[in-house]
Amino acid sequence: MGLQGVGVVERLLRKLLGPLCVLSGVIVVSGFFFPELVGETVSGRAWLVVSLLFFGSGLTYLAVLPADADAEPTEAQLLLSVRHRSIADTVGAFCARQDPVTAGIPLVVFALFFAGQLLAPDGTVAAVGTAQALVTTNAGWLFTAVVLLSLLCCLALLVGPWGAIKLGGPDAEPAYTYPVYFTMFFTAGIAAGIVFWGPAEALFHYETPPPHVDAPARSEAAVDAALVYALFHWGFSAWSAYVAVGVPIAYYVYQRGAPLRVSSILTPFLGVENLDSPWCRLVDLLAVFATIGGIATSIALVGEQFLTGIDFQWDVALETGGSLLFVAGLTIVFVASAQSGVHRGIRRLAGVNVALFGLFAALFLLVAPRAFVLETSSRAVGGYALEFVPLSVHLGNGPIADDWVANWTIWNWAWWLSWAPFAGLFLAALSRGRRIRTVVLTGFVATSLATMAWFLLLGSTSLSLQHAGDVDVLAAIDAHGGAEAVAGFPIFEALSLSRLLMFLFLALIVVFMATSADTSTLVVAVLTTRREHAPTTGAVVFWGIVQGLVAVSVLVTDSVEVLQAMAVLAGGPFALVVLVALAGLAGSFYRHERGRRSSLGAARASVRDGDEGED
């Protein structure tokens, strides 16, 4: 696991990164909050380098700090452990331990994809676009059904008898406190999409209301409908996909002795002794492909947003070279965090992430139009509750509505499902010692509420400023080619504490992406290592670099949207995998967990016993 952090490289990094963070931090803070002191000393392009040095050196320094020398690794830490070796041993162990199927095929597929982008870009784009359109349009019913079933499963686990099952047995204890447990899963599962879609999605629905919503564009009625749909796409339905994968894996790992793999969801059909079958390899292979494609695409998109902020603040266009520099810096951060293990880098960066998230939200609420936010948010929450079932089963009722649902709702469900393998596996790894009900309360309820609160705060503020004519955010988006990444910056500029908000927003972009990428790197390293071994440092570093290189290749070949479409395509097979997982879990509960009393049953029995006692 590398808990002690006494390696030579890490010691050298700590000596270098501390002073570098302080020096670059002084420059960045001076440039943001006291620009008159800096003047023209630092050029616009240099701001990117200095900002990356500050954020990257600070986060990396935090990740490689040593842990308590007396701390014993817990069971959860050992499940995602990393074997630290010398360089020579690392290379040898890496080659010997890699699974040729789950490690080799994704590398070949990505190589062929980028070769196609270079040699026949038009054909590749057309083929992927056609495939995505076919999946999101023709398989919309499947995604809708799977997400709805996942949500119903979460509700059943909350109130049913199986929620009382303690993963790992009655004597198992959680590896982390509840705040740390929530923090690590929330930051791993949401990525930086929450940052730039928070102020943007409701605006898009405000400008172009869903076809079945009876509201003119940019009207008062469109405000409420826009927020309702933002909550729907990012709320309970979305997070339920992670739980639908994570709970079955956790149950089979801790209750039935299955290995920590996504393919463990096949345990009730194949048995623990047969989890090395071709079907299992296929499931893990799809998980690796979806994870790398989804994370690499997000890294590229987040790089563009970070540069948009630099451009908006200092009017400097950095284009592809700046994006490549950003991706390289971010890759160093999340690789350092991943190789340090769950107990050090991943846990610490998640803590920083949630602290920044809370600080930003508190400051933003302080300067936002609170009356409008509270009024609009209350109406949106009410509308979300009333319209939840119709929205959950709506597939369109005409060509325009069909396209809208396919491009927004179905696309969102496919994207969340493509992230479900790595997020679900990480949730399972963290959940030993927790009751299933606690896992669902965390991965389904708490995360959804935190996400929805963010969208209500930023979305209602952006709608307020846009609808009142104080800021034309939609015009700013159009001026930057329709990119949602720019939406937050004109909003901050119109509010008090604008410089502080923008500074924290840029920090959130970096940290949110790092906390998802370090987790995905560790999960991919686990899935691509032979089942009887733990991944070595070399494996973690290698797969982290692969994710960075895929992101770089996406930027160089201008194929962000194409790779994103391919990652979404992986959501199709995983929709079927989720169905299998839920069916298998229901069968396992029926065979092995009968006789348990539900929460409602226990409450009724308690009331009945009380009444009998009075008699």
Any idea what the CATH number is for the domain that residue 84 is in? Answer: 1.10.4160
Residue that the structure tokens 């937050």 belong to: 488
Structural domain tally of the chain? 1
End-to-end CA distance of the chain: 60
- For residues 516 and 189, is the Cβ–Cβ distance under 8 A? yes
- Taking the CA atoms of 494, 499, 504 and 506 in sequence, report the sign of the dihedral they define: positive
Could you tell me if residue 538 is inside a domain?
yes
pLDDT of residue 2: 38
Asked whether residue 381 carries a pLDDT value surpassing 90, the answer given is yes
Token pair belonging to 534: 């733990």
CA distance 84 to 422: 23
Token pair belonging to 159: 């109130």
CA distances from 165 to 150, 154, 174, 276, 597 (A): 19, 14, 14, 27, 11
Token pair belonging to 306: 């970070």
- For residue 481, the number of C-alpha atoms closer than 13 Å in the C-beta half-sphere is 5
* Range of 75-89, 131-145, 581-595 with top mean pLDDT: 581-595
- DSSP labels, 84-108: ---HHHHHHHHHHHB-HHHHHHHHH
> Taking residues 539-559, what's their average pLDDT?
86
Could you tell me if residue 63 is inside a domain?
yes
Residue type at 407? N
CA distance 331 to 339: 12
pLDDT digits (tens, 9 = 90+) for 111-148: 888 888 788 877 877 887 787 777 777 888 899 999 99
Asked whether residue 15 carries a pLDDT value surpassing 50, the answer given is yes
Domain span at residue 418 reads 8-595
pLDDT digits (tens, 9 = 90+) for 155-165: 999 999 999 99
- For residues 442 and 182, is the Cβ–Cβ distance under 8 A? yes
Higher pLDDT, 320 or 607: 320
Alpha helices in 65-177 (DSSP H): 75-79, 87-97, 100-119, 121-138, 140-159
- Taking the CA atoms of 494, 498, 502 and 504 in sequence, report the sign of the dihedral they define: negative
Cβ-Cβ contacts under 8 Å for 248 (sequence gap 6 or more):
264, 265, 581, 582, 584, 585
Give 478's pLDDT tier (boundaries 50, 70, 90).
confident
Q: Please, what's the b/e burial string for 435-467 (b: 16 or more CB within 10 A of its CB; e: otherwise)?
A: bbbbbbbbbbebbbebbbebbbbbbbbbbbbbb
Question: How many Cβ atoms sit within 10 Å of the Cβ of residue 386?
Answer: 11
Token pair belonging to 456: 């209500």
Q: Which helix (H) or strand (E) holds 161?
A: none
Could you tell me if residue 144 is inside a domain?
yes
- For residues 215 and 382, is the Cβ–Cβ distance under 8 A? no
Question: How many Cβ atoms sit within 10 Å of the Cβ of residue 279?
Answer: 14
Token pair belonging to 113: 């994809």
Higher pLDDT, 326 or 322: 326
Q: Calculate what percentage of the chain has a pLDDT beyond 90.
A: 47
| Ramachandran angles phi, psi of 98, nearest 5° | -75, 135
> Taking residues 51-59, what's their average pLDDT?
87
Token pair belonging to 421: 């393998």
pLDDT of residue 551: 85
Token pair belonging to 169: 């047995």
Question: How many Cβ atoms sit within 10 Å of the Cβ of residue 96?
Answer: 10
**Cα Dmax for the chain:** 86
- For residues 54 and 25, is the Cβ–Cβ distance under 8 A? yes
pLDDT of residue 5: 43
pLDDT digits (tens, 9 = 90+) for 591-605: 988 766 665 555 555
Map residue 373 onto helix, strand or coil.
Answer: helix
Q: What is the DSSP letter of 345?
A: I
Token pair belonging to 367: 């300067």
pLDDT of residue 401: 56
Could you tell me if residue 300 is inside a domain?
yes
Chain centroid to CA 250? 19
- For residues 100 and 41, is the Cβ–Cβ distance under 8 A? no
Token pair belonging to 99: 């699974």
Q: What is the DSSP letter of 444?
A: I
Could you tell me if residue 80 is inside a domain?
yes
Could you tell me if residue 603 is inside a domain?
no
Could you tell me if residue 611 is inside a domain?
no
> Taking residues 534-546, what's their average pLDDT?
87
Asked whether residue 311 carries a pLDDT value surpassing 70, the answer given is yes
- DSSP labels, 216-273: -TTSHHHHHHHHHHHHHHHSHHHHHHHHHHHHHHHHHHHHH---SSGGGGGHHHH-GG
Token pair belonging to 174: 């959680």
Could you tell me if residue 237 is inside a domain?
yes
The angle formed by the CA atoms of residues 568, 277 and 252, to the nearest 5 degrees, is 75
> Taking residues 301-306, what's their average pLDDT?
76
Map residue 331 onto helix, strand or coil.
Answer: helix
Token pair belonging to 567: 């990652």
Map residue 435 onto helix, strand or coil.
Answer: strand
Of 226, 191, 198, nearest in space to 296 by CA: 191
Q: Which of 258-262, 306-310, 397-401, 586-590 has the lowest mean pLDDT?
A: 397-401
Give 70's pLDDT tier (boundaries 50, 70, 90).
very low
> Taking residues 9-31, what's their average pLDDT?
84
CA distance 48 to 17: 18
The angle formed by the CA atoms of residues 192, 194 and 81, to the nearest 5 degrees, is 50
CA distance 287 to 102: 9
Cβ-Cβ contacts under 8 Å for 28 (sequence gap 6 or more):
50, 51, 54, 503
pLDDT of residue 180: 95
